[in-house]
Chains A and B, each alone.
Chain A
Amino acid sequence: MKRLESPDALRKLRTDLASRAGQEAVIRVCSTGCRALGALDVCEAFEREIERRDLGSRVRVVRTGCHGFCAGAVAVVIDPQGIFYQGVTAADAEDIIAETVLAGEVVERLCFTVDGEPLPLQKDIPFYKHQMRLVLRNCGRVDPTSLEDSIASGAYTSSARVLSSMSPDALIDEMFASGLRGRGGAGFPTGRKWQFARAAQGDPKYIICNADEGDPGAFMDRALLEGDPHLVIEGMIVGAYAIGAAKGFIYVRAEYPIAIEHTRAALIQAHEAGLLGENILGTGFDFDIELRIGAGAFVCGEETALIASIEGLRGMPRPRPPFPANSGLYGKPTNINNVETWANVPRVIEIGADAYAQIGTDGSKGTKIFALAGKVRNTGLVEVPMGATLREIVFDIGGGIPDDRPFKAAQMGGPSGGCVPDDYLDLPIDYDSVKKIGAIMGSGGLIVMDDTTCMVDIARFFTDFVQSESCGKCVPCRVGTKRMLEILTRICSGDGQPGDVERLDRLGRMVLATSLCGLGQTAPNPVLSTIRYFRNEYDAHILDKGCPAGACQALIGYRILPDVCTGCGLCLKTCPVSAITGEKKQPHAINPAICIKCGACYEKCRFDAIVIE
């Protein structure tokens, strides 16, 4: 693209692009998250069909980022009508073009249904109806690899306005007034953070985008970088202007190849168009961004560890103060925010701090993106105003639990968070309320659990995770989590001893109080919160040597129900240790002395004749 020399040139380009968009039909195919389920084949099928029917001038296929409704992959939206199709395959392309694009009819078999009734329009689907997609607005609409497409949807409007008409101090006041808090987990007010970095002495100053989204169960940062990278870059430009930074870094984890690809392309495009680099839009402001890729270390999500990693060191955290605002990258003042926070910045400017502060609760403003996964029907990315309840997220938007099993808990905040039981389904969720009940907002991972999820096993799972990701620098985290893991492992394998829960509790509080960085300071949360709300499950494991959820292998057994078993013999063939015996067409039986409880028979049985006890 030709270099844009002024904010006016950008405005003119946007107007031109918007007028060109015209009346053509647009087929928007999620080509990031849905790629694993064949989205690129679907795109090609649409393009072949368009070419075959010579519709090139009337219909356009856009490879977009995530539509959010990941349970419906491959997800496709047909505009201008706003029709949403789920589970689309390449074979459906012909029907969609013929019936929907050309004849204006709905292909009912691809629609989301409620009680058997098809809901063709995206805006009517409960999953979307209850959301407020402010930050994710263009994710799933624009082609993230096209700067023109992004500009037509308003990209760089906010940064252009800030650079041409606001002073850094006024900008920081605006961020303060908006009430925006860091979306990476801790919820520190963004305006104050910027103010610290602006006031700090030192030159040059740096800003960093933390895209090392490592919490298991969180994928909103991935979706933002994949689906709307220019929004994040724009936010960083605004932040750089506020604190006076000339150089920025985006640190993405290596596990996100599409995010890396799209971010890299977006940086090059923005640079070529004069939206980034020297003398941005002719305003005299210089700012450039370099992309760095992680090398597989969860602890690098911690800001001081991330800085060490950019400096080419082992990614180990260091004590704060000094905070990065005063002494960060290469000892210079550094402001670090996460992807979602940066993505909120242009929206604050766009709608104004006052309007932004109208959204949310007293202490937490704006929206929050949650990654909804686990035992929930509509897995995907959802954006709701701060203060929405778990019930709204899990049931109204998420559609509840598959097979109508009971909701047991929601794990919020990943390994730093906790398990929230059903007592709190109606609690308005914001930074402060979630903290009060022993979890944290964290980055927004929300894993739903039903009655088949064992809470002791979940505590063990997270402790195992933090234990292996602990960098080993400080003793409480390195040794404390190890001892906790040992206790949890023995509880899960039936060797728990009376007093283990108290030991875990004491140890957990110690690790929490004395660890060096955020990883250790929050690592015991999953254990402490499950002890707080699910003590009975711990007792069942320790005292009764049983796992009520039927999840802990050592504490369960499999049994064949003789009156349901048809004697098909499939389990017998499947069993790796020949623990199953029985004549053809006669009920089979499992010999518990041989059974290794691998569950292979349970998975294979077509008649639900095998039960866990």
Chain B
Amino acid sequence: MAEEAARAGAAPASPSNADVEDVLDNLSAPPKTNLIGALQEIQERFGYLPRAALGGISRRAHIPLSRVYGVVTFYAQFYTEPHGRHTILCCRGTACHVRGAARVLDSVKQELGIDEGESTPDLMFYLETVACLGTCFLAPVMMIDSEYFGNLTPRKVETILRQYRDASQ
């Protein structure tokens, strides 16, 4: 359900309890021994970590909710609120930095009208910076979901983002 809604480009409603229970029933990573893996699976499914799922994990694995929450807020890649369905990771690594990453990031922000850590109002994009994508030969580089875009210039950024927008229409 949540996935379909996200694919249609609409803001996903918060998932029903039945959806959450269903995901928790079918986790391949046992939360007791692999909490981070379990959280990743839940996020993979809903695009973020719904409150009900965190409570469910805590109850099922007998881990205090405070500890689950502590883990969720420690790692940069966990989100407790719905966010854009395409995640843009702008690299701010050294190689990108010396090749003009700041300008690339600025152009993404300008094009989408959002700041780091924010989603566009239509929940199409979510913008984040990352320490290094390990693709320094492509610098400056960004990644959208699991696709890399290298040797970027502000103009290329515009074209790429517009392609994503056009593809969804």
Contact = CB atoms under 8 A, between A and B. Distances in A.
Interface string A313-327: 111100000000000
A505 to B, nearest CB: 22
A86 to B, nearest CB: 12
Nearest to B38: A312
A214 B132 contact: yes
Contacts of B71: 312-314
Contacts of B94: 216-217, 373-374, 411, 414, 445, 447, 458, 461-462
Contacts of A295: 36, 39-40, 75-78
A547 to B, nearest CB: 14
Interface in A557-610: 598-600, 603
B99 to A, nearest CB: 8
B137 A296 contact: no
A35 interface: yes
A465 B131 contact: yes
B157 to A, nearest CB: 13
A10 B11 CA distance: 54
Contacts of B37: 292-293
Contacts of B97: 216, 458, 461
A434 B106 CA distance: 36
A292 B67 CA distance: 20
Nearest to A576: B110
B23 to A, nearest CB: 18
Interface in A375-405: 375, 379-380
Contacts of A316: 74
Given A254-B77, A295-B36, A315-B75, A379 B134 contact: no
Given A217-B93, A461-B97, A373 B36 contact: no
A255 interface: yes
Given A37-B150, A599-B103, A315 B74 contact: yes
B130 interface: yes
A96 interface: no
Nearest to A315: B74
A300 B39 CA distance: 17
Interface in B99-132: 99, 103, 106, 130-132
A218 interface: yes
Nearest to B33: A312
A570 B149 CA distance: 27
B36 to A, nearest CB: 6
Interface string A172-215: 00000000000000000000000000000000000000000111
B6 interface: no
A529 interface: no
Contact of A292 (B34, B130, B139): B34
B2 interface: no
A294 B75 CA distance: 9
Nearest to B107: A600
B138 A297 contact: no
B132 A36 contact: no
B31 to A, nearest CB: 8
A533 interface: no
A437 interface: no
Contact of A215 (B103, B130, B132): B132
A374 B89 CA distance: 20
B161 interface: no
Contact of A222 (B33, B75, B99, B134): B134
A467 to B, nearest CB: 12
Contacts of B98: 374-375, 447, 449, 453, 458
B146 interface: yes
Contact of A36 (B34, B36, B63, B135): B135
A263 interface: no
Interface string B32-70: 011111011000000000000000000000010001001
B75 A298 contact: no
Contact of A255 (B34, B103, B130): B130
Residue among B31, B34, B77 with most chain A CB within 10 A: B77
A469 B136 CA distance: 20
Given A314-B71, A447-B94, A296 B77 contact: yes
A83 interface: no
Contact of B134 (A256, A453, A598): A256
Contacts of A33: 135, 137-138
Contacts of A36: 135, 138, 141, 147-150
Contacts of A379: 95, 136-137, 139
B34 A35 contact: no
A213 B97 CA distance: 18
Given A295-B78, A297-B75, A255 B70 contact: no
Given A35-B148, A36-B149, A217-B95, A469 B131 contact: yes
Interface in A297-346: 297-298, 309, 312-316
A90 interface: no
A73 interface: yes
A85 interface: no
Nearest to B106: A598
B136 A219 contact: yes
A121 B92 CA distance: 36
B60 to A, nearest CB: 14
A599 B106 CA distance: 12
Looking at B106, B136, B147, which has the most chain A CB atoms within 10 Å of its CB? B136
A371 interface: yes
A70 interface: yes
A414 B132 CA distance: 11
* A-B interface, 4 closest residue pairs, ranked by CB to CB distance from nearest: A312-B35, A70-B137, A296-B76, A36-B148
Interface of A: 33, 35-37, 70-71, 73, 213-219, 222, 254-257, 292-298, 309, 312-316, 371, 373-375, 379-380, 411, 414, 445, 447, 449, 453, 458, 461-462, 465, 469, 471, 598-600, 603
Interface of B: 31, 33-37, 39-40, 63, 67, 70-71, 74-78, 89, 92-95, 97-99, 103, 106, 130-139, 141, 143, 146-150, 153-154
17 contacts: A70-B138, A216-B132, A219-B135, A222-B134, A254-B77, A255-B133, A255-B134, A292-B37, A293-B37, A312-B31, A312-B71, A373-B136, A380-B137, A445-B136, A447-B95, A465-B92, A598-B106
Given A257-B146, A458-B97, 16 more contacts: A36-B141, A70-B138, A214-B131, A215-B132, A222-B134, A255-B130, A255-B133, A255-B134, A295-B77, A296-B75, A298-B131, A373-B94, A379-B137, A414-B94, A465-B92, A471-B74
